[in-house]
Amino acid sequence: MSTPQSPLHLARRRAVQAVAATGAAALLLVGCGSSGSSDKASSDKGSPSGASSTAAGSPAAGSPAADAAGGKRTVKDATGTAVEIPAEPKRIVTLTQEDLDAVLALGLKPAGITNGQGLNEPPAYLKDKVQGIPVVGNLLQPVMDKVIAAKPDLILAGDMQDQQVLKQLREITPATLVTMAPTDDWKLSFRGIGNALNKLDQANKVITDYDAKAAKAGGELGANKGAAVSIVRWNPTGPSWMEKKQFASGVAIDMGLTRPKAQDKDGNAHTPALSLEKINEIDGDWLFLSTLTDDGKAALKDVQSKPAYQDLAAVKNNHAVTVDGSVWSTRGGPLAAGVVIDDISKALAAK
């Protein structure tokens, strides 16, 4: 990307070429293990390998995993690495908000979480669900002492690519999973996490319910049914529109909406920040604007008084909507997807 970015964002983008070929689909490849869960049979049945479960060895004495109830299962994580994990994990630590979203959507309460993307606190849309849960660091930047204090028997490490950090995490518990590749869509990642938690049937139901909600909401948009929606993150240096396979874009498409011609491109990332001379690229029937930082908010506020912004058709028609960047500008999960559906419905169904 041609605009300045944080080292974390640069690292995540560089990781695309390194691991895109494996992806979260590997998490659906179940190896060996044992469990008394009612989801176990469906987990094995739903895996491409179709492997049946067998007894697994015990963890090293004194490790956090040694205290987990039940047996063990082996899954491949998003890098293709086989990892032995508890059949019924009890103390899950999540290192991204996408992992957190997935765990909460499956009805589990983590033992430790990280702050949201660009935030020094958990994402606002999950705030009421994570009260009292210890924060162990920032997004993909765990503080090891805090992770140890959470006593995890399973760590969900998102798209962590830092091998030194992964090594440290696996010294805390070998049951540390990279849950997604940078190019994975949220449904694939979520199913993989569901399988790792021995809840693949439940994960599939969550997605089925989401698909039904998206289709229903899209059909209730009246005159705005099928409208072209522009999805934009405002950075300190200007706006970036989201490609079609980016999380919020995918939700809009699942609702039967379309993208403006300039934004009708595959990919799951966003463009470099645009200059005012190219601001027409962000126009559409509707314009959804988000920010992730205070600098981004200030830049958006500043541009809203400029003629180039005010000349946008969406702005003239009062169709520009400000939304939560910690939901709309991330990789997402089922709970975030529900927020996007509700945001779109609130804006478009009212017109």
Q: What is the pLDDT along the chain (351 residues), one digit of tens a residue?
A: 333 444 444 444 444 334 443 444 555 544 333 333 333 333 333 333 332 222 222 223 233 333 444 699 999 999 999 999 999 999 999 999 999 999 999 999 999 999 988 788 899 999 999 999 999 999 999 999 999 999 999 999 999 999 999 999 999 999 999 999 888 889 999 999 999 999 999 999 999 999 999 999 999 999 999 999 999 999 999 999 999 999 999 999 999 999 999 998 888 888 899 999 999 999 999 999 999 888 999 999 999 999 999 999 999 999 999 999 999 998 899 999 999 999 999 999 865
Inter-helix orientation angle 200-219/247-254, to 10°: 60
Q: Which residues contact 215 (CB under 8 A, 6 or more apart)?
A: 254, 255, 256
How far is Cα of residue 202 from the mean position of the Cα atoms in its chain?
18
Phi, psi of 329 (to 5 degrees): -105, 15
- Co-location of 67 and 200 in the same domain: yes
Cβ atoms within 10 Å, residue 145: 9
- Co-location of 92 and 18 in the same domain: yes
Domain-terminating residue out of 183, 209, 235: 209
Q: Which of 249, 66, 243, 220 is nearest to 151 (CA)?
A: 66
Cβ atoms within 10 Å, residue 262: 16
Q: What percent of the chain has pLDDT over 90?
A: 71
The pair of structure tokens assigned to 85 is: 């994990």
- Strand locations in the chain (E): 30-33, 72-76, 82-86, 92-94, 137-138, 141-142, 154-156, 176-177, 229-235, 238-241, 286-290, 320-322
Q: What distances in angstroms separate CA 84 from CA 23, 57, 158, 159, 251, one per listed residue?
A: 18, 9, 17, 18, 33
Is there a domain that residue 5 lies in?
A: no
Is there a domain that residue 116 lies in?
A: yes
- Co-location of 145 and 73 in the same domain: yes
What was the pLDDT predicted at 26?
53
Please say whether the beta carbons of 130 and 122 come within 8 A.
yes
* Whole-angstrom distance, CA of residue 183 vs CA of residue 21: 9
Domain-terminating residue out of 177, 209, 241: 209
Report which secondary-structure segment, H or E, holds 99.
Answer: helix 97-105
What residues does 240 pair with on adjacent strands? 233
What was the pLDDT predicted at 3?
39
Task: For the full predicted model, state whether its pTM sits above 0.95.
Answer: no
- Co-location of 137 and 268 in the same domain: no
* Whole-angstrom distance, CA of residue 116 vs CA of residue 118: 6
- Strand locations in 238-300 (E): 238-241, 286-290
* Whole-angstrom distance, CA of residue 63 vs CA of residue 127: 31
Backbone Cα Rg of the chain: 21
- Co-location of 330 and 258 in the same domain: yes
Please say whether the beta carbons of 123 and 327 come within 8 A.
yes
Q: Give the structural domain span for 314.
A: 221-348
- Co-location of 56 and 154 in the same domain: yes
